[in-house]
Amino acid sequence: EIHSSIDHDKVNFLLKKSLALASSSLSSRETIDSISETSKNRSNANVINFQCNKNSSSTIDDNKNRDSTANSRSNSFQNIQRQQYLTNPCVTGTAMAHSLWSTVLQPGLDSAIDATCGNGKDSLAIAKLLFAPPGDDDKKCVASKLICIDVQQSATSSTKTLLEDEFGTSFVRSHVDVLHASHDPLPYPDITATSNVALVVYNLGYLPGCSSSKDICTRAPTTISSLADAALLIRIGGLISVMTYPGTDYVEAQSVRMFMEGLAMLTTNEPGGWESYIDNTVIASGAFYDVENTNDIEAYCVQAKECTKDAVRLVHQEGSVQQTWRVFEHSPLGRPLSPVLITAYRVK
């Protein structure tokens, strides 16, 4: 009875509807799961892409930092190389001069003169060789004296400032005289009996970095006269050091060379001696000397030769009969306009 009372069509309809709903529910769940999985994959991809971009950006920054560090090291190395280059006696005349000065100066015992101090770089180099390091006992330097001379006020001011920055105002006031004067006549230092002048230095030409410096330039007559004073002042074992500039004043450069070689010829056994050497040597204006008036050039050459001969004669007459000099010329071959270092060392 129960079975007969059931409406089979209705049951079948409900069954089909339930199955359809179940199928729809399953399909929706799969779709949701699929969408969720896709979203998850996309999110992971975005994370990966972000990480890649971040790593890429970090790599670029690292590369920039490495390049900056490398450039800094390269510049520092180049500066060191340049400094080593400029202080190498095998390369520059200035470095050669400084090296030679160190062989004659006795710290605390000797005195020195920078006859053309300019901006003070040579004076500073001499002071470092002559005096004890800053902070040491001043008694180590009590007998030493440094005299710095220049005709330009700006030069003496620069020199004084440079020395005070290195050694202190009080020390410079006690051990250094900075004179606004000409190197001719050469001032004799007020030194103690235990100190001798072991070094006289000249860096000829004009003051670098000064707008009107070429109008104020060393000239042969006064330079040669000053060199004669230096030769009479220097102690045995002392050195006269002269940096000449053929490209600036060819006549002055030749005159200095003639004077210094004249010192070497004081003890020659050649006929006529030093006088014959000077008489037979010609001072020419050269292709490097730029003067508009030819007559002025020739007059300058004649004057320079006469001054040179008079200066050597003065040293010969007033100096020791046994005085002996060793003279050297340091010049780069193939570079006729480059500075030339000439040194005269008093052997006895």
Q: How confident is the model at residue 54 (pLDDT cuts 50, 70, 90)?
A: low
Q: Which residue has the higher pLDDT, 111 or 143?
A: 111
190-243: pLDDT as tens digits: 655 556 899 999 999 988 876 555 778 999 999 999 999 999 999 999 999 999
Q: Which amino acid is at 39?
A: S
Query: CA angle 340-236-97, nearest 5°?
Result: 25
Cα of 122 vs its chain's centroid, Å: 11
d(CA 14, CA 114): 123
DSSP tag of 149: E
Predicted confidence at residue 278, as pLDDT, reads 93
CA dist., res. 210 & res. 157, Å (int): 13
Q: The whole model's pTM is what? A: 0.75
Determine the Cα–Cα distance for residues 78 and 338; give it in Å rounded to an integer. 24
pLDDT digits 0-9 by tens, 137-167: 555 566 789 999 999 999 999 999 999 999 9
In angstroms, rounded to a whole number, what is the distance separating the alpha carbons of residues 224 and 217?
A: 14
Domain positions in the chain are 90-250+321-346
pLDDT tens column, 247-296: 889 999 999 999 999 999 999 998 999 999 999 988 876 654 455 556 67
For domain 90-250+321-346, the CATH architecture is: 3-Layer(aba) Sandwich (3.40)
